[in-house]
Amino acid sequence: MAARGSGGGSRADEQRQRILAGAVAVFSRRGYRAASMNEVADQVGLRKPTLYHYVRTKQDLLVAVYEEVLDESLASARRIVAAAPSAREAVRELLVERVRYTCEHRDLLTICFHEESALPPELAEPILERRREFERVVRDAVAAYLRESGRALPMSVGTYVSTCLGAANWTYKWFDPAGPRSPRELGEDVASVLVGILDG
């Protein structure tokens, strides 16, 4: 995960990032509910009182995981759309990148897909809004391609995008790091099939 903060970040920022990475390792291995703050502290080599100096609760760590994934995903999606030479290429690259990110961060995605019910509504809503904003970026790119090409889908844009993101996200379950395809190459394969529906 990328470090946050301006420039190189303060020592406290770096320590929080270490703690977050440790929490990801523990939560993905043990499950959020079974994991303890003692295990997170052990993972990063801190005493528990020191850990609590940087983070108040286990729930705060879970929220930070979601924020990290969604903020990175949204920023990446916006960059892709801004840089793409065409709406079609934007859609294709959005799907390639979604698969690549999912396959390269399977520990993060395991947490995000399995632990959402552990978030209380007041904490879940801002996270869900980030997710909706990411989905809007993808929907807008698809709608732009349909306008440019004069093509039509046999389903709503929302259904198409949900299907595409479901297929891309599910690769975290079956991608084999030792397999013949890299995350990027697998993304190209998946995007080829999904964008083919738009071109058909």
Which pLDDT tens digits describe the chain residue by residue (200 residues)? 443 443 445 888 888 889 999 999 999 998 899 999 999 999 999 998 889 989 989 999 999 989 989 999 999 999 999 999 999 999 999 999 999 999 999 988 888 888 888 888 888 899 999 999 999 999 999 999 999 999 999 999 999 999 999 999 999 999 999 989 999 999 999 999 999 999 87
First and final C-alpha spacing in the chain: 37
Do 3 and 64 share a domain, yes or no?
no
- The CATH number linked to 22 is 1.10.10.60
Which pLDDT score is estimated for 123? 85
User: Taken in order 48, 123, 130, 162, is the CA torsion positive or negative?
Assistant: positive
For residue 5, the model assigns a pLDDT of 41
Domain count, the chain: 2
The pLDDT assigned to 12 comes to: 80
Residues 69 and 87 in one domain: yes
Same structural domain, 110 and 180? yes
Give residue 15's domain range.
Answer: 1-56
pTM, full prediction: 0.86
Same domain? For 158 and 105 the reply is yes
Which residue, 13, 40, 56, sits at the end of a domain?
56
Residues 81, 90: Cα–Cα separation, whole Å: 5
Same domain, 34 and 20: yes
Question: Does residue 171 share a domain with residue 184?
Answer: yes
Domain boundary among 12, 41, 56: 56
Longest dimension (CA), the chain: 61
8 φ/ψ angles, rounded to the nearest 5 degrees: -80, -10
Same domain, 45 and 71: no
Residue 109, domain CATH: 1.10.357.10
Q: Which amino acid is at 87?
A: A
Q: Does 177 lie in the same domain as 93?
A: yes
pLDDT of residue 81: 98
pLDDT of residue 9: 57
